[in-house]
Amino acid sequence: MYTSPVSPGRLLNIAAACAAAAGLSMTCATAQAAASNDYPAGKPITMVVPYPPGGSNDLFARAVSAKLGPMLHTSVVVENKPGAGGSIGAGYVARAKPDGYTLVAVSSSFTTNAAIQPHLPFDAVKDFTPVGIMAEGPFVVAVKKDSSIHSIADLVAYAKQHPTELNYASSGPGSSNQFATEMLDTAAGIKMTHVPFRGMGPATTALMAGQVDVLVASGPSLLPAVNSGKVRSLGITSAKPSAIAPRLKPVADTVPGYSFSLWWGVLAPANTPQPIVDRLNQAIKQIVDEPEMKKFFLREGAESATLSPAQYKQRVQDDIVLWKKVAQQSNITVQQ
């Protein structure tokens, strides 16, 4: 391992200062390279999960962190900081020192929240440095088991003939599956009535009981009920067929241009030195590309995916713009 005569902390401070200064000199570039080579210098890394244990954010963060530590020759501690729809944990990381030792595992709900919540304790773009994504996963479109609707084409035709008659469930106002369903309404030129529940469990139960007509939700939430015959699946929201449910056709085959996928990724505080961000990105990419990890994500309704830091930054920015537009068109507001 690289050994510097200057302390790791000083190297990181120099690197951060250089990154913020205009016109980087050769001295700054050298200091950043030294900080990257030394990182993480045996110091533990904290991976914050801004949600309670047990959800997909927590599962994916722990699976990746378990391999990230040995790869970087240090330990990675996963710390749950739930509350306020994920904003407490994310805000904690936004205020952390930008040295690569405090990260946050988020999902695409980070961008939907940013689109509809006007009083977050951080700026979702300016206060973070995107590191890389771990996985992506589509939603499944399903109807109650005794529905007369057997395909996406049937769904669109019925909804056009009976505006607002079909009820769709969600896990709550402003949830990702509300966004996905409202996007479907707009793309298909239909209108279904939103019935929000407090969480995905109650929403899925309502569909199985026939209390609502439609639910657009993740594979793990819906496929067990589909496989047991308690609900009927119609399609998948990814633009192309997905390995999580290969027999299901994309909604886009019937509704051209429609596409919705969740993503899970890692952010660092703003101004984290680029060499450290790049090293973390390459390590995460190597981990999620392992066959064992691909199988793990597939079991959890997702597929391993990678983006460069620059691509991930653009994805976050583009998503926020998109969700603001969808929220305005469909009158999606934050839950009070």
- Give domain 8-136+262-330's CATH superfamily: Bordetella uptake gene, domain 1 (3.40.190.150)
How confident is the model at residue 333, as a pLDDT? 85
Indicate if 138-261 has the same CATH topology as 8-136+262-330. yes
How confident is the model at residue 10, as a pLDDT? 44
pLDDT per position as a tens digit, 61-106: 999 999 999 999 999 999 999 998 899 999 999 999 999 999 999 9
- Please check the confidence at residue 32 and state whether its pLDDT lies above 60: no
Query: What is the crossing angle of helices 200-208 and 219-227, to 10°?
Result: 20
pTM for the whole structure? 0.86
pLDDT per position as a tens digit, 114-139: 999 988 999 999 999 999 999 999 99
- Please check the confidence at residue 47 and state whether its pLDDT lies above 80: yes
Instruction: Considering only the C-alpha atoms of the chain, give the largest distance between any 2 of them, rounded to a whole number of Å.
Output: 75
Measuring CA to CA, which residue among 132, 109, 141, 140 is closest to residue 304? Answer: 132
Contacts of the segment 222-231: beta carbons below 8 A, 24+ positions apart:
222/140, 222/142, 223/140, 223/301, 225/142, 226/140, 226/142, 229/145, 230/145, 231/142, 231/143, 231/144, 231/145, 231/207
CATH class of 138-261: alpha beta
pLDDT per position as a tens digit, 206-217: 999 999 999 999
Tokens of 123: 């700026």
- Please check the confidence at residue 14 and state whether its pLDDT lies above 90: no
pLDDT per position as a tens digit, 227-254: 999 999 999 999 999 999 999 999 999 9
pLDDT per position as a tens digit, 173-221: 999 999 999 999 999 999 999 999 998 999 999 999 999 999 999 998 8
- What are the domain boundaries of the chain? 8-136+262-330, 138-261
